[in-house]
Amino acid sequence: MVAAAATATATSFSLSSTTTTSASKTLKPQLNNLSFLSSSCPSLKTLSARAAASSSAASGGGSALAARMVSVPPAMKPQTSLDFDTKVFKKEKINLVGHDEYIVRGGRDLFKLLPDAFKGIKQIGVIGWGSQGPAQAQNLRDSLADAKSDVVVKIGLRKGSRSFDEARVAGFSEENGTLGDIWETISGSDLVLLLISDAAQADTYEKVFSHMKPNSILGLSHGFLLGHLQSMGLDFPKHFSVIAVCPKGMGPSVRRLYVQGKEINGAGINSSFAVHQDIDGRATDIALGWSVALGSPFTFATTLEQEYKSDIFGERGILLGAVHGLVEALFRRYTENGMSEDLAYKNTVESVTGIISKTISTKGMLAVYNSLTEEGKKDFETAYSASYYPCMDILYECYEDVATGSEIRSVVLAGRRFYEKDGLPAFPMGKIDQTRMWKVGERVRAARPPGDLGPLYPFTAGVFVALMMAQIEILRKKGHSYSEIINESVIEAVDSLNPFMHARGVAFMVDNCSTTARLGSRKWAPRFDYVLTQQALVAVDDNSPINRDLISNFLSDPVHGAIEVCAQLRPSVDISVTADADFVRPELRQASN
């Protein structure tokens, strides 16, 4: 569970609850002016619940100079506020850094409300069996069974798919009407959860739309498809509603914590939800019911556009790509400076995925710093000061590539290169754990005592926390809500993803995620490795002075208090990931170090 150490800020944080009974079921966004350099992107007039697009500001100069102009002011507030109405669930108001946000708590005691939430839904079609499909289908099925609902959860797959066997093992079958052809499943479902890869969505969306029943609901767990449509000046057809429930963790985590939640009520992965298009007033409660059924400890509101920007960006940042690049750069530095390979691995990967993540999860980022000796704090500050702006430089570029559609286009094109075309060979994703570092990791894990969280290495901690804070700042200045910022930059990293790298290395973490995430991690990890090596570590070697304003801003940043509030909204349960985990992707199930 994520918590934070107490801070010296004077900002008050509070939780209050209210139950709404309004017949209105649409989100009500409000957006203030943004105070960060922002890129413009297509904005479409839709029936969506979304914030208005921010206006463009003039571009800054060189990244290092521009970055120094956006140092974190303690009183910074998030820019987006979202409200919603529900007839079925209890809505609560939380206050994060003086900013009201609205959430719905989860828990198995709410499963009894699912029949009301899913009123009018006879069949939920889960399309695809990748990262999210197996987890969401099984969680929905089990939750609805617990609620004694007669809603059918049916898996839809393309004919000949090898995933039919996997779905059958999970309890779905053609005989009982819970497994079938993708197009028949879409045509026969009242709620269609489109969980195929983003690249596949981009290539098949027209056929999907044509098979949707009038007045049905399209459910997404990622806003990628909206971004793709926007890049072509298009929007969703108007004969069905469009909602999203987006778990802040990979599919295997969604399933694993749901299963653990049978013993600890409310254990699970937090989710955001969005109502992009609501044609009959049912969308909000159906989306919330979907999230509750997945086992989300709490569900917060966003927009489909804000979701895809923060999510695609976050995957390439601290969640996957950046942390991979970070540990590669530091492992190489430590060994080049004479540290043994085993110790270098422990002081990079084991430190980040073990004690640093555990400390941030249970006590917050400040606790990492405060637990160090005075000499350790100096090493932390040196690393933090040297790494913050180089990390922000790449993160800033990445966010704008996502916001302008460039990164979305890159994913679509990469998916098409998986197959032979134009006389050129196929280029599927290659392995990412074949270098010496990851072979050393196998040896280290094989000898690791049970429960060992590795050493708290101050320099590694300083680089990792600088990366985390730089990502928080980008999202904050781009107008994302604190709920979204904290989940995409902190909770998902330390509670959902890093435990997988701790269990079996970087590929076990990255390749249990979606195709879009896997592609992005492979593309951006080398950028973070390079910038840290060429800029941050060079600055350290040059004995560049510590930027005291950066350290002061970190210690007093109001995000620490906001994380503390979010920590109150979920139980203290850690995901259990073993080397022989059977809830992961089939090709990653073999027992291995």
- 146 inside domain: yes
Q: How confident is the model at residue 72 (pLDDT cuts 50, 70, 90)?
A: very low
Same domain, 214 and 250: yes
Annotated binding site for substrate: 514
What number is the average pLDDT over the span 420-433?
94
What number is the average pLDDT over the span 369-390?
98
Burial of 587 (0-12, 13-18, 19+ CB in 10 A): exposed
Q: What is residue 576's predicted lDDT score, i.e. its pLDDT?
A: 79
Annotated binding site for Mg(2+): 311, 315, 488, 492
CATH of the domain at 184: 3.40.50.720
Structure tokens at 18: 């209210």
Whole-number Cα distances in Å, 157 to 14, 358, 445, 581: 46, 38, 37, 25
pLDDT in tens, 507-520: 999 999 999 999 99
Structure tokens at 425: 């060979």
Same domain, 539 and 422: yes
pLDDT in tens, 502-553: 999 999 999 999 999 999 999 999 999 999 999 999 999 999 999 999 999 9
Q: What is residue 581's predicted lDDT score, i.e. its pLDDT?
A: 74
What is the span of the domain harbouring residue 558? 314-568
Structure tokens at 547: 């930027």
3-class state of residue 123 by DSSP: strand
- 241 inside domain: yes
DSSP 8-class letter at 319 = I
- 104 inside domain: yes
Q: What is residue 589's predicted lDDT score, i.e. its pLDDT?
A: 62
Q: How confident is the model at residue 268 (pLDDT cuts 50, 70, 90)?
A: confident
Comparing 27-36, 308-317, 481-490, the range with the smallest average pLDDT is 27-36
What number is the average pLDDT over the span 449-456?
95
DSSP 8-class letter at 157 = E
Q: How confident is the model at residue 566 (pLDDT cuts 50, 70, 90)?
A: confident
DSSP 8-class letter at 275 = E
Same domain, 101 and 166: yes
Query: Structural domain tally of the chain?
Result: 2
Q: How confident is the model at residue 254 (pLDDT cuts 50, 70, 90)?
A: very high
Annotated binding site: 311, 315, 488, 492, 514
Same domain, 121 and 200: yes
Burial of 156 (0-12, 13-18, 19+ CB in 10 A): buried
Q: How confident is the model at residue 266 (pLDDT cuts 50, 70, 90)?
A: confident
* Sequence-separated (6 or more) residues with CB below 8 Å from residue 512: 131, 250, 251, 252, 500, 584, 585, 588
Higher-confidence position of 138 and 591 = 138
Q: How confident is the model at residue 261 (pLDDT cuts 50, 70, 90)?
A: confident
Q: How confident is the model at residue 81 (pLDDT cuts 50, 70, 90)?
A: low
A 10 A CB-CB count for 452 gives 15
Q: What is residue 590's predicted lDDT score, i.e. its pLDDT?
A: 53
Same domain, 174 and 210: yes
Higher-confidence position of 562 and 71 = 562
CA 413 – CA 407 distance, rounded (Å) = 10
- 592 inside domain: no
Structure tokens at 101: 């946000």
What number is the average pLDDT over the span 189-199?
96
pTM of the model: 0.84
- 306 inside domain: no
Same domain, 263 and 350: no
Q: Give yes or no for a contact between 574 and 269, defined as CB atoms under 8 angstroms apart.
A: no
Same domain, 435 and 511: yes
Nearest to 309 by CA among 201, 381, 384, 230: 230
What number is the average pLDDT over the span 302-313?
96
Q: What is residue 267's predicted lDDT score, i.e. its pLDDT?
A: 78
CATH of the domain at 508: 1.10.1040.10
Same domain, 253 and 376: no
Same domain, 250 and 106: yes
Higher-confidence position of 82 and 3 = 82
Q: What is residue 377's predicted lDDT score, i.e. its pLDDT?
A: 98
Q: How confident is the model at residue 571 (pLDDT cuts 50, 70, 90)?
A: low
pLDDT in tens, 145-179: 999 999 999 999 999 999 999 999 999 999 999 99
- 302 inside domain: no
Same domain, 280 and 415: no
Whole-number Cα distances in Å, 263 to 137, 139, 268: 20, 15, 11
Structure tokens at 575: 């995901």
- 305 inside domain: no
Q: Does an H or E element contain 243, and which? A: strand 241-247
* Sequence-separated (6 or more) residues with CB below 8 Å from residue 165: none
The rounded mean pLDDT for the chain is 86
Q: What is residue 572's predicted lDDT score, i.e. its pLDDT?
A: 64
DSSP string covering 494-535: IIIIHHHHHHH-HHHHHTTS-HHHHHHHHHHHHHHHHHIIII
Is the pLDDT assigned to residue 79 strictly greater than 90? no
Is the pLDDT assigned to residue 64 strictly greater than 70? no
A 10 A CB-CB count for 527 gives 18
Selecting among 99, 222, 324, 560, the annotated active-site residue is 222
Q: Would residue 239 show up in a list of annotated catalytic residues for this protein?
A: no
Percent of residues, the chain, with pLDDT higher than 70 = 84
3-class state of residue 414 by DSSP: helix
What number is the average pLDDT over the span 87-95?
96
Same domain, 250 and 324: no
Q: Give yes or no for a contact between 253 and 496, defined as CB atoms under 8 angstroms apart.
A: yes
- 341 inside domain: yes
Same domain, 370 and 290: no
